[in-house]
Amino acid sequence: MELLAVMALIAMTLSLAAPQFSKILASAKLNADARKMASVLKIARQEAISTGQPRTVVFYPNNAQYKITGESSYLLNPGINFVGATNFPKNVQSLPFCGFAASGAPSSGGTVVLGNGNSRLYVIVNPAAGRIRVSESPPLNWD
């Protein structure tokens, strides 16, 4: 009888904790994807500097993926999506991209917004310095 009461108490506790766990997991996935995207942008910038050749990261918002041109694609986790269009310029195929010159300077700055339905993170490339960061809020010049 006591075992049944303990099991009922555990079941009730778990049923109350499950929604919170789901939100924590979704937040962790969003954070991981934003940091991974920032890392890929930093890698592209560093490769441009070290090879002396320009590098480009292309974003595929409709497919929830992005890639350094000529390399494998990176997929966003299930439930993580691009929110709206990025404000990077678009290339010939009408896809947004971020290019880096051999000096490491970006072709332009821009922001990618990633979301999971509950929250958003901004992956920001500074147009002057090429600094790449992840933020919970949009850049000051955001429209």
- What average pLDDT does this structure show over 87-115? 91
Going by pLDDT thresholds of 50, 70 and 90, the confidence category of residue 23 is confident
* Cβ within 8 Å of residue 63, ≥6 positions away: none
Q: What is the pLDDT of residue 139?
A: 84
- What would the pLDDT profile of 45-82 be if each residue is shown by its tens digit? 999 999 999 999 999 999 999 999 999 999 999 999 99
User: How many angstroms separate the CA atoms of 84 and 105, rounded?
Assistant: 25
Q: Residue 78 corresponds to which amino acid?
A: P
Q: What is the pLDDT of residue 19?
A: 64
User: How many angstroms separate the CA atoms of 36 and 91, rounded?
Assistant: 23
Q: What is the pLDDT of residue 102?
A: 95
Q: Using CA atoms in the order 71, 44, 82, 112, what is the torsion angle rounded to 10 degrees?
A: -160
Residue 123, CB-side half-sphere exposure with 13 Å CA sphere: 27
- Above 90 in pLDDT, residue 140? no
- What average pLDDT does this structure show over 77-98? 88
pTM of the model: 0.84
Q: Residue 50 corresponds to which amino acid?
A: S
Question: Domain 25-135 falls in which CATH fold?
Answer: minor pseudopilin epsh fold (3.55.40)
Q: What is the pLDDT of residue 2?
A: 73
Would you state the structure tokens that stand for residue 59, as one six-digit string? 């974003």
- Give strand pairing partners of 111: 124
Q: What is the pLDDT of residue 13?
A: 67
Nearest CA to 134 out of 49, 26, 38, 5 is that of 38
Does residue 69 sit in helix, strand or coil? coil
Q: What is the pLDDT of residue 138?
A: 87
Q: Residue 30 corresponds to which amino acid?
A: L
